[in-house]
Structures are given as C-alpha cells and as structure tokens.
Amino acid sequence: MSDPTAEVPSTTPGELQDRIDRGEPVRVLDLRNRDEVERWSLTGPSVTLTQRPYNRFIQARVTDSVDAFVDDIAGEGPITVVCARGEASADVARHLVDAGYDAHNLAGGMAAWARLLRRVELDAASDGATVVQYRRPASGCLGYAVVAGGEMAVVDPLRAFVDRYAADARGRGAEIRWVIDTHVHADHVSGLRGLADAAGATPVMSAPAVDRGVTFDVETVTDGDELQVGEATLEAVHAPGHTTGMTAVAVGDALLSGDSLFVGSVARPDLERGADGARDLAEELYRTLTERFARFADDTVVAPGHHAADPALADDGGHTATLGALRDLPAFDMTRAAFVDYVTGDMGPRPANFETVIDVNLGRETVDETTAFELELGPNNCAATPVEQ
C-alpha cells in the first residue's frame, strides 16, 4: 500500500531539460487526455512518449495489474510521469516506486515546464557586445539580449518572463534601453510593452509592423536604421515574408533573424494575410533570403526566433547556425516559383489562438496574466515544412 505522506521522487523541469539536451533517454508517461498530448507535449530527439489517462492507472491499481500497465510503456530509462500540474503524476509516480519501478514525477507538471526559460551566451562576435539567447523549450521560442557598456536591448521578449529579463539586466549591471519586437507575433504574447514600462525603456517595432494597427506608442525603425547599446550598434534589416513588418537585427557577426530564416527551415507566410495573401508574402520571403540577406557573409551567425521540436544545439549551447551552412539548404537553390509553391504547399496547423494573440500584441485586446499564459501554450508552428538538407 502506497504511503500518501511519503516524499515523491521528482525531477524539476530544468533537470529534465538538461537530460534532453544531453541526449539521454527520456521515457515519458503522460497522463493527460490524448487531445492535450497531441496538441502539446514534451519533445526531444531522445524522448519516447506514452500517453495513458490517469483513470486507466486507477483501474490498474484496483485490479492489481500495475505491472501490465507499465510493461508496454515504450522507451528506455527511468519513467518520468507527467500531468498538467504535477498532482496526478505525483500519485502515479509514488505508486510506481512502491511497486519497484524506477520512476519520478515532473514537479509542477506541464505548467511548470511551460515556465522554463534557458539562457546561454552566444560565441558570435558582436561588435563588443554580449549576445544572450533565451530559449523556452516548451514552445520553441527564442529571444535575445544584447549587452554592452552598461546598457541592454532585449529582442522578442515573452510576457511570461518580463521579470526574468529585468533581473538579468540587474545582474549584469545594465540598464535596459531598448525593447524590440521583430514583428507582430502570432504564437506568443509579447513582453514588449510590459518590459519597456517596467524598465523605463523605449519599445521599438518596424514602421510596417506598426501600420498593421498597433494601438500604443512605440518608436519605429525602417531598413538600415541603427540603435546604440553602449559601444555596440544594432541595425534594422527589413526582412518581410513571414509578415510585412518582419525586421531582423544585425549586430557584429550575428543576425537575429526573427521569423524569417530558422535552422533547417524558413518561415510560413500565411499568418498575416491568410491563404489568399500567402503567395505574395512567400515571394517577399524569397527576396529576403536571396537578396536582402545576400550582403551578409557566410560566417554570419544566424540566431532565429524559434527552434524546431528537436533542436540541435551549437557548440556554445545555443540554437544557431552560420548563414553559409543555411545557404546549403535546397530553399536557396530553388527558383522563385518553386520556392513559393514549397512554402505555401504544406504549412500545417497554425499557432493556437493566433488571431487573439495578434490582437493582444497589437493592443486591440487586453488579457490578464493567466489568460495570456494559457493562450500561448503549445508549439509555435511558425515555420513552413522543414527543408531537408
């Protein structure tokens, strides 16, 4: 009989993500409903996931058939039991351990995993600045901080982590001067206004992005405009295709590409104008990749706005690739017509709640913190079908 007061073996989201990043076998037993798991789950090249509803475990316990319940859970390594908030999974993990299985609970469940934010300094030479990449494994979102001379710019912040960026600035003895959104995001609630207000910084977006109907005060930039962060210079690079206002940020040898060019894929072009306008934006994306980015050298480090479900990390632990390596992708050898057909041919599901998220990020709609967090749960789905190398 399991002791309900006994301490449950558990792992934190950070510890679990470390194992995934190291490529260690991770065997996940997810107790949520199938539709929840299919919408959003733990991912990684070493992750093997089995979905079983919690009530099925209750039945197995009552009928003394826990061994049968466990025996066909796929994968290798200890069993990481997962649920929405870590409560049902704690109960299951406790019983599995009592039955002699190597199991533990994901503390806080998927809600806690969604609040995990990793940070790494990139090796890219960046005009005397330090470039920090923030990674949210639960959604694949990537954001950045550029720090130089006691000042900081934050690029593509998430509303859920405004306090984290502010704390990082304090820890580096830096004042946040600029908060930049590369475009009007459709997959997550932006931290642009919240962080700018909290830090007394200037919010920045491109002029075409603001023209979509932004309802709040923001400083606008156009192609070639520069922002100073200490001794470092950030240059706005017009990069339409994913949206009309998509703008990359160049600093030193790094190109913060936003949602234009990812590691192994390119952006989808249908989230602003729908399917009817997707082909026109796909043509713009082709010009961005082959013409607007043509001036950047092959050794430019591309630091994108998202990573794939199974990210391959660079030597510095970040999710980046050189532009030269990405230019070997077939997308760069396609004709314009072939490229347009490719990126509009199989774009897959759109981000969850994307229309509401866009309205929130434009300032047309206001939501509280809990609603904002729930709106963006799940994969970002901002890439077209990956182009295989």
Question: DSSP letter at 133?
Answer: E
Residue 385 pLDDT level (bands cut at 50, 70, 90): low
| Averaged pLDDT, 289-316 | 88
Count of beta carbons in the 10 Å neighbourhood of residue 349: 10
Position 314 scores a pLDDT of: 82
* 209-213, 215-219, 285-289, 314-318: least confident range: 314-318
In a domain, 290, yes or no: yes
- Please give the share of the chain, as a percent, with pLDDT higher than 90: 74
Whether residue 287 is found in the same domain as residue 329:
yes
What is the C-alpha to C-alpha distance for residues 94 and 9, in angstroms, rounded to an integer?
7
Of the candidates 254, 222, 226, 252, the one whose C-alpha atom is nearest the C-alpha of residue 240 is 222
Whether residue 102 is found in the same domain as residue 124:
no
Question: DSSP letter at 261?
Answer: B
Whether residue 37 is found in the same domain as residue 169:
no
241-251: per-residue pLDDT in tens?
999 999 999 99
Whether residue 301 is found in the same domain as residue 249:
yes
22-43: per-residue pLDDT in tens?
889 999 999 999 999 988 899 8
Mean model confidence pLDDT for the chain: 91
Residue type, 258: G
Listing DSSP states for 40-74 in one string gives: S----TTEEEEE--HHHHHHHHHTT-HHHHHHT--
- Please give the share of the chain, as a percent, with pLDDT higher than 70: 94
Domain that holds residue 145: 118-375
Position 378 scores a pLDDT of: 72
* Angle subtended at Cα 302 by Cα 315 and Cα 166, rounded to the nearest 5 degrees: 85
pLDDT tops 60 at residue 320: yes
Whether residue 365 is found in the same domain as residue 256:
yes
Residue 1 pLDDT level (bands cut at 50, 70, 90): very low
pLDDT tops 90 at residue 310: no
What is the C-alpha to C-alpha distance for residues 195 and 157, in angstroms, rounded to an integer?
8
Beta bridge partners of 230: none
324-375: per-residue pLDDT in tens?
999 998 889 999 999 999 999 877 778 778 999 999 999 999 999 999 988 8
3-state secondary structure of 277: helix
In a domain, 274, yes or no: yes
What is the C-alpha to C-alpha distance for residues 59 and 156, in angstroms, rounded to an integer?
46
Residue 388 pLDDT level (bands cut at 50, 70, 90): very low
Residue 353 falls in which region: left (phi positive, over 0), alpha (psi -120 to 50) or beta: left
Position 125 scores a pLDDT of: 65
pTM above 0.95, yes or no: no
CA dist 61 → 2, 67, 92, 298 (Å): 11, 9, 10, 59
CATH of the domain at 86: 3.40.250.10
Position 387 scores a pLDDT of: 43
CATH of the domain at 133: 3.60.15.10
pLDDT tops 50 at residue 389: no
128-143: per-residue pLDDT in tens?
899 999 999 998 899 9
Number of domains in the chain: 2
Whether residue 155 is found in the same domain as residue 18:
no
Q: What is the CA radius of gyration of the chain?
A: 22
Pairing of strands 301-304, 26-30: unpaired
Whether residue 70 is found in the same domain as residue 23:
yes
| Averaged pLDDT, 96-123 | 94
137-175: per-residue pLDDT in tens?
998 899 999 999 999 999 999 999 999 999 999 999 999
Last residue of some domain: 113, 144, 177? 113
207-238: per-residue pLDDT in tens?
999 999 999 999 999 999 999 999 999 999 99
pLDDT tops 80 at residue 309: no
Whether residue 55 is found in the same domain as residue 200:
no
3-state secondary structure of 209: helix
Last residue of some domain: 113, 129, 164? 113
Position 349 scores a pLDDT of: 76
Residue where the block lists tokens 């206002």: 245
Whether residue 367 is found in the same domain as residue 230:
yes
Residue where the block lists tokens 């004042």: 175
What is the C-alpha to C-alpha distance for residues 241 and 42, in angstroms, rounded to an integer?
30
Token duo for residue 174: 């830096």
Strand blocks (E) in the chain: 10-11, 26-30, 47-51, 79-82, 103-106, 118-121, 130-136, 141-148, 151-155, 175-180, 202-206, 219-221, 226-229, 232-238, 247-251, 254-258, 301-304, 321-322
CA dist 76 → 25, 29, 51, 60, 113 (Å): 6, 12, 15, 22, 21
Last residue of some domain: 113, 136, 171? 113
Whether residue 90 is found in the same domain as residue 157:
no
What is the C-alpha to C-alpha distance for residues 34 and 46, in angstroms, rounded to an integer?
21
Residues recorded for the chain: 389
